[in-house]
Amino acid sequence: MKVMAQIAMVMNLDKCIGCHTCSVTCKQAWTNREGTEYMWFNDVETRPGVGYPRGWEDQDKWKGGWRRTAGGRLVPRQGGRLATLGRIFSNPNLPGVNDYYEPWTYEYDTLLSAPASRTTPTARATSTLTGQHKDTIAWGPNWDDDLGGSMETLDADPVLHQMNLEVAKTIEYTFMFYLPRICEHCLNPTCVAACPSGAMYKRVEDGIVLVDQDRCRGWRMCVSGCPYKKVYFNHKTGKAEKCTLCYPRLEAGQPTVCSETCVGRLRYLGVLLYDADRVTWAASQKDERDLYAAQRDILLDPNDPAVIEAAKADGVAHSWIQAAQASPIWDLITRYQVALPLHPEYRTLPMVWYVPPLSPVVDAVTASGSDGENHKVLLAAISQMRIPMEYLAGLFSAGDTAPVERSLRRLAAMRSYMRDVFMGNDADETIPEAVGMTGDDVRAMYRLLSIAKYDERYVIPTTRTGMPPGITELEGCPVDYDVEAFHGAAPGATTPGAAPAGTRTLPLEVL
């Protein structure tokens, strides 16, 4: 067993309101420069839809991720090392600007400088690539937003195809939800394997996947190798760029910008311990439907004394082990088993997981004349949800509906159980029992998913005890934070409503 630590994220999709604040603040922090205009390290997609870049999930077309050979070996779907070198000057598997979109701005200055006239001045659209006027804007990074373009694009949704699903195409009857996406900081990243220059790397200390700008030669094999299409090519510098998981903030114990600014408070960040010796085993499962379970299987219980000893022997810092023990990610993935990985069939072992959306099932059941708050009725109705379970399974469990159904049943059970608690009735312990949980588990899960405070959602160990002398805040980062709350609290101190000691006020230790 080789114990390693990974910073991972979970997003609770029921709480995403599709406001795009995460995308905009990320852009402001990281890609507000020449050459990065079209890049969205964080984007929010409306599902069903084709996403950004267009149809990124169609790996028959883009050849991203890994393929398992008949002999059980993993090779990048775009080809091994020799094939990659053979295509170094002509990579056929790259999205073009039309698949992303041609970025544009508006001539805002016209609004201020136009002479007096009988008509209102207009700000014409201009391409930020060519500087030319754009008379029509026919595609953007979120063209499906709120199903706005979906009547045109729905048929091209790769998940609908893969799951052979027909869905209603009238806006009143179809379903939708939001899917925010960032780089998955995978345990088995194809982008790293595909890079001929060795510029892409995964940090040993926290698993963040980065591009060494000095070593990058701009071959773009990482762009085609990534099945999530989360590496981008900067056409000004000629280098690859990607989500950094805001590592300068994480190193200071702060959450990523997208998490910090998330209006729905649906993002969770924390440490996972995993067995690096079993990564290849987990990614090479013969049956794609076993990949989710195998991935969960290599995560190590941070409270197991044998794991703690092995982690110390492998150089994992004490503060990181403590953070793993308080990790909301561990709880959501393993203890409650409500979070699922995005497209485990790509075999990259992604580290951003999702709690699937329950959708308005209570309203639907009530509208059909039944008691939507009755847990027996509610649990039975999960399979008739407005969002088809098969669609969610196509996203989160390689088509296997069982993990999705377990997650949704647990979320529905939490709703029924907590309703009794808040109505002053006796808690009905048969509800958690029906979904394989205890009442205490359900209460703890409710707290984490519904009302968790900042320090419970983000349990991030730092590698230092404070800012360098003379610096009072992270310069250059546009997202502010409460300096006093962060630096002022004594270890172990608690404030009303704050997390238990041992989360953000972890004893700090230099690695």
Q: How far is the CB of 247 from ligand SF4 (least distance, A)?
A: 13
Site size toward ligand SF4 (CB under 6 A) is: 28
Taking the C-alpha atoms of residue 206 and residue 265, their distance in angstroms, rounded to an integer, is 23
Q: Does 242 participate in binding ligand SF4 (rule CB under 6 A)?
A: yes
Q: How far is the CB of 302 from ligand SF4 (least distance, A)?
A: 23
* DSSP run (H or E) holding 366: helix 361-367
Q: Mark the segment that binds ligand SF4 (CB under 6 A) among 92-100, 136-144, 178-186, 398-406.
A: 178-186
What are 276's two structure tokens? 């690096």
Q: Does 189 participate in binding ligand SF4 (rule CB under 6 A)?
A: yes
Interface with ligand SF4 in residues 192-211 (CB under 6 A): 209
Q: Mark the segment that binds ligand SF4 (CB under 6 A) among 189-197, 320-328, 417-425, 469-477.
A: 189-197
Q: Mark the segment that binds ligand SF4 (CB under 6 A) among 19-27, 269-277, 415-423, 464-472.
A: 19-27
Taking the C-alpha atoms of residue 45 and residue 230, their distance in angstroms, rounded to an integer, is 14
Residue placing its CB nearer to ligand SF4 in the complex, 146 or 152:
146
Q: Does 20 participate in binding ligand SF4 (rule CB under 6 A)?
A: yes
Q: Does 344 participate in binding ligand SF4 (rule CB under 6 A)?
A: no
CB 342 within 8 A of CB 356: no
Taking the C-alpha atoms of residue 237 and residue 230, their distance in angstroms, rounded to an integer, is 18
CB 304 within 8 A of CB 249: no
Q: Does 348 participate in binding ligand SF4 (rule CB under 6 A)?
A: yes
Q: How far is the CB of 355 from ligand SF4 (least distance, A)?
A: 12
Residues 6+ apart with CB under 8 A from 315: none
CB 469 within 8 A of CB 426: no
Q: Which of 191, 307, 414, 499 binds ligand SF4 (CB under 6 A)?
A: 191
Core vs surface per residue 7-46: b (16+ CB within 10 A) or e: bbbbbbbebbebebbbbbbbbebbbeeebbbbbbbbbbbb
CA distances from 293 to 70, 109, 355, 407 (A): 21, 55, 16, 14
Q: Does 190 participate in binding ligand SF4 (rule CB under 6 A)?
A: yes
Interface with ligand SF4 in residues 118-177 (CB under 6 A): none
Interface with ligand SF4 in residues 250-279 (CB under 6 A): 262-264, 266
CB atoms within 10 A of CB 102: 18
Residue placing its CB nearer to ligand SF4 in the complex, 51 or 432:
51
Taking the C-alpha atoms of residue 318 and residue 409, their distance in angstroms, rounded to an integer, is 36
Residue placing its CB nearer to ligand SF4 in the complex, 150 or 244:
244
Q: Which of 1, 19, 434, 474 binds ligand SF4 (CB under 6 A)?
A: 19
What are 494's two structure tokens? 């608690």
Contact positions toward ligand SF4, by CB under 6 A?
16-22, 44, 178, 180, 183-186, 189-191, 209, 226, 228, 230-231, 242, 262-264, 266, 348
